[in-house]
Structure 1
Amino acid sequence: MELPRGVLLAVSDELDGAELAALKFLCRDHIPWRRLEDVRTPHDLFEALQEKAMLEPGNLAFLRELLYRIGRIDLLVAHLGSSRKQVERELRAPGGARVPPYRYLLFDLYEHVTERELMDFKLLLGNEVPESKRTRETTMLDILIVMEKRGLLGKDNLSILKSLCEKINISLWNRIEDGLKLFGQEEMLITEEQRGSTGCPEGHLVSSVAPGPPGSFNDSSQLLEAYKMTSRPRGVCLILNNYDFAKARELVPEHKYIRDRHGTDVDAAALRNVFSKLHFRVEERKDLTAEEIRKTVNIFRSEDHKDKDCFVCCILSHGKKGIIYGVDGQEVPIRELTTSFTAQNCNSLAGKPKVFFIQACQGDAFHQGVTIETDSGEQDSSVEQDARFQFDCIPAEADFLLGMATLQDYVSFRSPSEGTWYIQALCQRLEYSCPRGEDILTILTAVNQVVSGKTCDRGIRKQMPQPSFTLRKRLIFPVN
């Protein structure tokens, strides 16, 4: 009995290039890779399947399964006289499924990865993916194939894929994990670390110090627990928002040219929006003098935070190295503010993350016209050399994170209509990444990438944010 050649030709004519790529991927456990690379058309694929006795006279079960997996139910009905329910019954029967669970779940990952997530996979894998495979046309299937060929992925080697999914979108890994459990393949979830001699329990795989920059993937990972983040609200997010610097111009001669901070309310609104979604109690205070900043911080320091998991403070103002300005032009050292929340000064936050985001210049300011401004507030200022200021701004004790809009000695930029480069990038990345389970250091690395890619003044002026931290655990802000 011969195969129904006319049926195979009819099916072949209905399949496009993306569907052929999907079918080839699903067949990788049955046809040698070198043979698959010679397949150019669906008809070539059917011939390769015949060579391996996967398509035989009177037995088109595997073809039915393949068409079902790629969602071409119309071809099942029109050319194979079958239906969705019939194929599902066949797959439930013992030995009915020929596509292994591992292969099918990788294909399911491909179908659920967004364009942005695919870009993140390419960036995190970095040099592990050849340059020719880092183009816009490269699909998730291409990435998975490269990982398999390079030994980064296999049915008994899912650790790297798990770590990538946790950095990009934890729900992607959850689909794989749930699928393997459904198929009774839980043993595939055992990580390489668990197979080794360390005896460590399963947990999140992260870099031993901090995430590498986008475009690189560090496989020398270790298990690291996360801070507890389950209270409702998570804690206070205090926004100190200084716009009106008329007092500074009036009271301090050297600040007579200091500008009002047009666009700061755009930043404040973005911060309110994102931290409300992250279940923080948002408190905003506007146009505070230096003394009022101190008093406000002291009020929140004195609160009882014992039933909260975190404290966040966002400061939007003018500044210079290691300090911020009140609207009266008086200075407040950043370290004075952060030290207010040490265990000695705020015992109810002991062992809990204290996070500060500072939007202010930290050095030399340049006037950039009406569309781009800086947050030093001055038209001219001297440049001091003190590379230690960044770390001097946070206490030596654990559990602090300080996110600075810019490096020491440099300005930070603000659009009067769109807000600051740093705060806008921070809020956008928090909103995108927190639902995907990314930790804050991964998020801030992505913020660095976004902000450092911006330029003004014909590309001459740039900005580079810098976090410094004494965190002991992963800091993740769940949305649920």
Structure 2
Amino acid sequence: MEFSQLLFVISEALDRTELAALKFLSLEHVTVRKREDIEEPKAFFQALQEKGMIEVGDLFFLKELLYRINRIDLLASHLGSSREEMERELQVPGRARVSPFRYLLFQLSENITKDDMKCFKFLLGKELPKCKLSPETTMLDVFIEMEKKGILREDNLTVLKTICGKVDKSLLKKIEECGLNSFGEGEMLVTEGQGSSTGAPEDSAIWLASSVAPNSLGNYDQTSQLEVYKMTSRPRGVCLILNNHNFAKAREAVPELRKMKNRNGTDVDADALRKVFSNLHFTVEVYRDCTAEEIRKIVNNYRCMDHNNEDCFVCCILSHGKKGIIYGVDGQEVPIQELTTSFTGQNCQSLAGKPKVFFVQACQGDAYQKGVTVETDSGEQDHSLETDARFQLDCIPSEADFLLGMATLQDYVSYRSPSQGTWYIQSLCQHLENSCPRGEDILTILTAVNQEVSSKIDKQNAGKQMPQPSFTLRKKLIFPVN
């Protein structure tokens, strides 16, 4: 059957309730505003085509949607698939395009009776406007309004769990069975050798999201397997590259930075990053030679963007730096923490529950000049190294879903070849290019980067470099190439 005719036949077989379910399950791909304009299945399929979610030769998302709403008859008669085949397909990591969070809410709506829904609406009377809780409002509509109000997110199920516990404990049990009751929760790991922790991130501890969900007894099921972040949108998201090369302004404006050199070789890194993230289906945006204020404005612009239709955000920073900061080309400082915390769920709601990835190529300590062929990315020279810095604990937010990849450990220099780029970025791009097609997750890739970079040596000064990732990811982060 011809493609458009196939979609037409399937659309004719769907009723309004099923259309509402399909639109809800596709909210990560079709914006709420666009969704409200869709009143028939044909328009819904058109919207999915515009987003590249269904097309000739790739009908998997359509198959998944029909499977999710239990229209196995359409799945079998028009798309040549079956319940068993879809169950096998959806076991493949990263294959599902409907998020577990969205599917859980849909399943809850299917199990909520009319009486339960009345109770639900009554208990939300102080949270949502009365006009949004009318008798005509469906349970899916209620969930959408809860999300709009910010009281329901993938990493915040507190209100939902509380209400489900009051309305019907079997609903609460369903949430627990889906393993979503630990979203946003984590276990604290104390960094070895830095003393005991009082519970705050700045007190020598780093918050890492737990990879397992509590069972009904409140213990951790060690046999649980990590979920995979949804990574199916096209584009996947934005890859922002801040590439600082020319530091003449810094040398003129800040006397103590008069020996700061231009970062020859940084364009090699920027080109490598542009290539690899373009191939991973990101929209790559490159900004060159930015002052500190320009960096802040650019980051704020991307913080304010609508990322609802995207699955991820990546930011790569190439500059001079020192402990916990990067330099603008004017020599002014920008704390790395200021940049990362711009994208927390509170500051950028459209990225809540989605991975935020930062790669920083800059020194994180004082460094001396390394000669002609190998340079360091530090703006200061001939200073002794400090020993009490804890930049990693300050730079990454304690909130879930962040990954911060630093080119070097606290206090130390990182190396850059004027002709071949930096050790860290070049290794990172090479491993992403080689390992993403094999389905390896980002932490496995960064471990390989650590191994490669740490094996290099600056022969002139016997210098070494050790990158360091820090993260609060709750799931495996895999960048599919397809």
User: Which interval holds the TM-score relative to the shorter structure?
Assistant: 0.5 to 0.7
Q: Aligned equivalents of 2:295 and 2:244: distance in 1?
A: 10
SS in 1 for 2:399: coil
**1:368 alignment partner AA:** K
Q: What corresponds to 2:413 in structure 1?
A: 411
Q: What corresponds to 1:294 in structure 2?
A: 296
1:65-144 matches, cutoff 5 A: none
Deviation at 1:221, TM superposition (A): 6.7
Q: What corresponds to 1:383 in structure 2?
A: 385
Deviation at 1:222, TM superposition (A): 4.4
RMSD: 2.4
Deviation at 1:389, TM superposition (A): 1.6
From the superposition, tell whether residues 381 and 418 of structure 1 become closer, same or farther in structure 2 (CA, over 3 Å).
same
Q: Is the 8 A contact 1:363 1:381 kept in 2?
A: no
From the superposition, tell whether residues 200 and 236 of structure 1 become closer, same or farther in structure 2 (CA, over 3 Å).
closer
SS in 1 for 2:343: coil
Q: What corresponds to 1:262 in structure 2?
A: 264
Q: Pick which of 221-230 and 440-449 moved more.
A: 221-230
Q: Aligned equivalents of 1:328 and 1:452: distance in 2?
A: 32
**2:349 alignment partner AA:** N
How far does the alpha carbon of each residue in 1:383-442 deviate from its partner, in whole angstroms, 9 at most, with x for none? Answer: 222342212101110000000000000000000000000000000000000000000000
Q: Aligned equivalents of 2:383 and 2:312: distance in 1?
A: 36
Q: Is the 8 A contact 2:304 2:348 kept in 1?
A: yes
Q: What corresponds to 2:197 in structure 1?
A: none
Deviation at 1:372, TM superposition (A): 0.1
**2:440 alignment partner AA:** E
Q: Aligned equivalents of 2:395 and 2:467: distance in 1?
A: 15
1:252-331 matches, cutoff 5 A: 252-331=254-333
Q: What corresponds to 1:429 in structure 2?
A: 431
Q: What corresponds to 1:11 in structure 2?
A: none
Q: What corresponds to 1:231 in structure 2?
A: 233
Q: What corresponds to 2:464 in structure 1?
A: 462
Deviation at 1:209, TM superposition (A): 7.5
SS in 2 for 1:240: strand
TM-score by length of 2: 0.54
**1:337 alignment partner AA:** L
How far does the alpha carbon of each residue in 1:356-377 deviate from its partner, in whole angstroms, 9 at most, with x for none? Answer: 0000000021211110000002
Q: What corresponds to 1:187 in structure 2?
A: none
Q: What corresponds to 2:248 in structure 1?
A: 246
Q: Is the 8 A contact 2:326 2:362 kept in 1?
A: yes
Q: Is the 8 A contact 2:323 2:389 kept in 1?
A: no
1:91-240 matches, cutoff 5 A: 222-240=224-242
Q: Aligned equivalents of 2:404 and 2:304: distance in 1?
A: 21
**2:473 alignment partner AA:** L
From the superposition, tell whether residues 461 and 209 of structure 1 become closer, same or farther in structure 2 (CA, over 3 Å).
farther
From the superposition, tell whether residues 327 and 396 of structure 1 become closer, same or farther in structure 2 (CA, over 3 Å).
same
Deviation at 1:200, TM superposition (A): 10
SS in 2 for 1:402: strand
Q: What corresponds to 2:342 in structure 1?
A: 340
Q: Aligned equivalents of 2:248 and 2:470: distance in 1?
A: 33
Gap runs ≥5 in structure 1: 1-165, 171-198, 202-207, 211-219
Q: Aligned equivalents of 1:324 and 1:453: distance in 2?
A: 26
Give the greater-gyration-radius structure (CA): 1
Give the counterpart of 2:450 among 445, 448, 451.
Answer: 448
Q: Is the 8 A contact 1:237 1:312 kept in 2?
A: yes
**2:265 alignment partner AA:** G
Q: Is the 8 A contact 1:259 1:378 kept in 2?
A: no
TM-score by length of 1: 0.54
Q: Is the 8 A contact 1:271 1:427 kept in 2?
A: yes
**1:364 alignment partner AA:** D
Deviation at 1:309, TM superposition (A): 0.2
**2:452 alignment partner AA:** V
Q: Aligned equivalents of 2:345 and 2:225: distance in 1?
A: 26
Q: Aligned equivalents of 2:224 and 2:210: distance in 1?
A: 9
Q: Is the 8 A contact 2:366 2:381 kept in 1?
A: no
SS in 2 for 1:223: coil
Structure 1: which 4+ aligned runs deviate by more than 4 Å?
A: none
